[in-house]
Amino acid sequence: MNFDLPMKLLYPFAVLVACLLITGCGGDGSYSSAPPPPASVPAGNQVSSGMRVGDKITIRLTGVPDDGYVIEMEIPSSGDISVPLLTHPFHVIGRSAADVAEEIRTAYINEKIYTNPHVTIIPEERYVNVGGDVRGPARVAYTPDLTLLSTINSCGGFTEYADRQHVRIIRGQQIIVVNCVAAQKNPGADPAVFPGDQIYVPRTIW
């Protein structure tokens, strides 16, 4: 049996394959100059948006017969905290305050100390500092949804002299250079920022 296709069908089929290859392999290159987002930071240097060593927190226990307690503390280098009546510590580094509070509450119930306790953990507010050629340099309160562009926008946006292609995020000993022109075109190139970051917008030389 002959499975050869007639020539009049082979030509449009070849054109279709060529179009697909061009579409799949092409691109306008508009993001090629954008630096890698913070996800490319080596794992050992990544910054967590959860609680960290040195953070100050307030732990509050309510809804119990003995009036509960309010404790203010600084997270130690071990990353473990202890609370009254519970004998084991709770590791908090990298975790959310709500997650740790629920673990403490569950422990009180499981150990039959309280039947319906309410535990809240309130971290001290943390900030991202923004300077350089923005309209209102400021210290911005950190929230988990902050990105580079949203942080700059909260400071009034760029000035007319800002070099938007070489914005710097200073994170500890690391400097990350971000092309905000590309990030404005592609939200995926707009990196997250973290507590303690310093953002600097240089002035263009032109």
Helices (H), the chain: 7-25, 97-110, 148-153, 180-185
Looking at residue 32, its pLDDT comes to 32
What topology is assigned to 126-201 in CATH?
Outer membrane lipoprotein wza fold like (3.10.560)
pLDDT number for residue 205 = 82
pTM, rounded to two decimals? 0.59
Q: What is the residue extent of each domain of the chain?
A: 56-123, 126-201
| Distance of alpha carbon 97 from the chain centroid | 16
Alpha-carbon gap, residue 93 to 54, rounded angstroms: 10
Q: Which residues of the chain have pLDDT under 70?
A: 1-49
- Indicate if the alpha-carbon torsion angle 76, 78, 80, 82 is positive or negative: negative
CATH class, domain 56-123, is alpha beta
Q: DSSP characters for 115-148?
A: SS-EEEEEEPP-EEEEEESBSS-EEEEP-TT-BH
pLDDT of residue 144: 86
- Res 192: pLDDT: 95
Q: Residue 14 and residue 129: Cα distance in Å, rounded?
A: 56
Question: Can you give the pLDDT at residue 206?
Answer: 74
pLDDT digits (tens, 9 = 90+) for 117-147: 999 999 999 999 999 999 999 999 998 899 9
Q: What is the pLDDT of residue 49?
A: 65
> What pLDDT is attached to residue 14?
52
- Which two structure tokens, joined as six digits, stand for 46? 């990544």
DSSP-based three-state secondary structure for 143: coil
Continuous segment of H or E residues that includes residue 84: none
